[in-house]
Each structure stands twice: as structure tokens, then as C-alpha cells.
Amino acid sequence: MKKIGFIGLGTMGLPMANNLLKAGYELIVYNRSMDRVKLLEGELVTAADTPAEAAARSEVVFTMLSADKAVEEVVLGRGGVAEGAAPGLILADSTTIKPATSKKLAQVLADKGIEFLDAPVTGSEPHAVKGVLTFMVGGNKEIFDKCFPLFEVMGQKAVYMGDNGTGSTAKLANNLIAVVNMLALAEGVTMAAKAGINPETFMKVIQGGGAGSGMAEYKLPKIYNRDFTPTFKSDLMYKDLSLISAFAAENEVPVPALSMTKEFFRILLNKGLGHEDVCAIVKLYEEWAGVEVKK
């Protein structure tokens, strides 16, 4: 497979597409605002006027969009992927969406002979740039194997999870854990700071031990350096929290820690801080405790 369609050149999609180009794939891209296409490097890239055209000219199409609605429109809407696709096309969707939407898309597309993979990723923009994302993939195992070289170009890991929907489910469970770990970090470091502990020194204690986490590694230095520029925006996290909450309710799984965290992010958004990184959640604790977590 050499001709790859790529739809959605946002914060994540753009570096992902660039990594495919660098690896020598021919890219047919579509983005709502086409000036993003100029940001792609190399000569193997051409623009398509519609998602349908991108699909017609490709063997595999990746979508990396904002949410369920955008994916449904781009795939099933007028001028969408399904309209232009020849039977046998593979569509891999890396958007974080409801597992139910992934399952529905897979069913509808199967009727048209299109293979669907839900293939969301963990990692934020820097990981996308370096090509070290983790893909978690639901769908047909043979199709997964076929696409594995593509995942390897954009990621350091691609894990086959099971049937369609399990990729999206794994992503939601992953984000549940990540965001509650973020809350734990914010709560713990605020308590320590209030009692006079330097957070940079505290970082040395927790690193690599039972209290260590990806969130501590990525976010604690941002907190004590007072750098709230987003690698993962709080309002996008709130979107994910809402998806997780709805999914848990549908599956009759109580998620008390996630629910509390969701409400705290609602408070953060209402304070006008939705554009800041998820680590800005520490600002709530700082206000509540009357202390600033800094070096």
C-alpha cells in the first residue's frame, strides 16, 4: 500500500501526515481549511477537493478529527469517504470518539465493502511530531496487520485490542486513568507545597516510584515552571470526560473518581481556563488551599 489518504490536518493530524510523507508514502490530503495543506513537507502530497476524492484515490484513509459528529459527516455525509471509496478501501479513524460510533461506522461501511478500524492514539502533539504515539486498534485482525507498517511510522506502538469499538474503548479507559492521575498529582503537590515542600524537590521523590506517573513526568515540571501552554487543552479533555462518563453509564459501570474529576474540569472551564493545558487543574487546588505551587 502506497497511496494514503489523510483527512484532518489539526494539531495531531498534521505531524502524523508529515511522518507518513517522510517515510515515502504518497499522501492525498483533505482538510476543511485547505491552507493547512501548505504546512506539509515534500512533493508526494496532493490535495483532494472532498473526502470522497481522497478516498477514491487511496488504498487506506486516515481520519484525525475533532469529535463524533465531524467523523460521521466526513465518512457518511455528502462528498464523504463512503461516497468515493472503492470496495476494499481501509478507513482507519484515529479520532477519540464513542465506541458506539466506531461500531456503527464499521457496520455501515462493511455493507459497502469498506474495512473500518478504530485506531485512536495516546500521546499529545510532541509525541505525534516524534512519531512515538501509541495506537490502540479495534477491527479485523488481518486488516490491522496490513496497516501495521503505517502505524509504526506514526507511532512507537500499535496494540490490537479486539473487535471494532475496542480501540475506542481502550482510549476512553486510558484517558480516565490519565486524568485521575493528573488530579492526584495536583492534589498531592498542592498539599506538599502548602506545608513548605519545594515541588521540584518533591519531583525527585516521586519519580520512578509508587507515586510516579506519566502525568507527573509530563505535567509536574510544567506546573512548577508556571507553564500552562497546552499540549492537551482542558476543554478537549472535558469533551473526553463527557464521552467517558456517558460510556460508563451505558455500560453500567460506576466511575466515581472520573465523575468528580469531570466536575472539577467543568469548574476550570467556567473560570475561562479551557484553553490552558490540563495541568491547569492545579489552579483550582491552589485557589482552594491558598498557595501557589512554584519552585
Name residues contacting a second copy, limited to 195-254 (CB under 8 A): 195-198, 201-202, 204-206, 208-216, 218, 244, 247-248, 251-254
Binders of a second copy among 22-51, rule CB under 8 A?
Answer: none
Residues 286, 50: Cα–Cα separation, whole Å: 48
Dihedrals φ, ψ of 200, to 5°?
Answer: -70, -40
User: Catalytic one among 171, 222, 233, 283?
Assistant: 171
Asked if 169 interacts with a second copy (CB under 8 A), we say yes
**69 assigned to active site:** no
Burial class of residue 163, CB neighbours in 10 A (0-12, 13-18, 19+)? middle
Angle subtended at Cα 96 by Cα 93 and Cα 102, rounded to the nearest 5 degrees:
55
Burial class of residue 248, CB neighbours in 10 A (0-12, 13-18, 19+)? middle
Residues 204, 178: Cα–Cα separation, whole Å: 20
Size of the site for a second copy (CB under 8 A): 72
Q: Which is nearer to a second copy, 31 or 166 (CB)?
A: 166
Candidate segments 27-35, 55-63, 87-95, 121-129, binder of a second copy by CB under 8 A: 121-129
> Smallest distance from the beta carbon of 143 to a second copy, in angstroms?
17
Asked if 181 interacts with a second copy (CB under 8 A), we say yes
Asked if 267 interacts with a second copy (CB under 8 A), we say no
Residue 4 pairs with which residues in a beta bridge? 27, 60
Among 1, 34, 159, 246, the residue binding a second copy under the rule CB under 8 A is 159
Asked if 172 interacts with a second copy (CB under 8 A), we say yes
Q: What is the DSSP letter of 30?
A: E
> Smallest distance from the beta carbon of 217 to a second copy, in angstroms?
9
Query: Cβ(172)–Cβ(244) under 8 Å?
Result: yes
Asked if 190 interacts with a second copy (CB under 8 A), we say yes
Residues 39, 71: Cα–Cα separation, whole Å: 22
Asked if 125 interacts with a second copy (CB under 8 A), we say no
> Smallest distance from the beta carbon of 252 to a second copy, in angstroms?
7
List, by residue number, the catalytic residues. Answer: 171
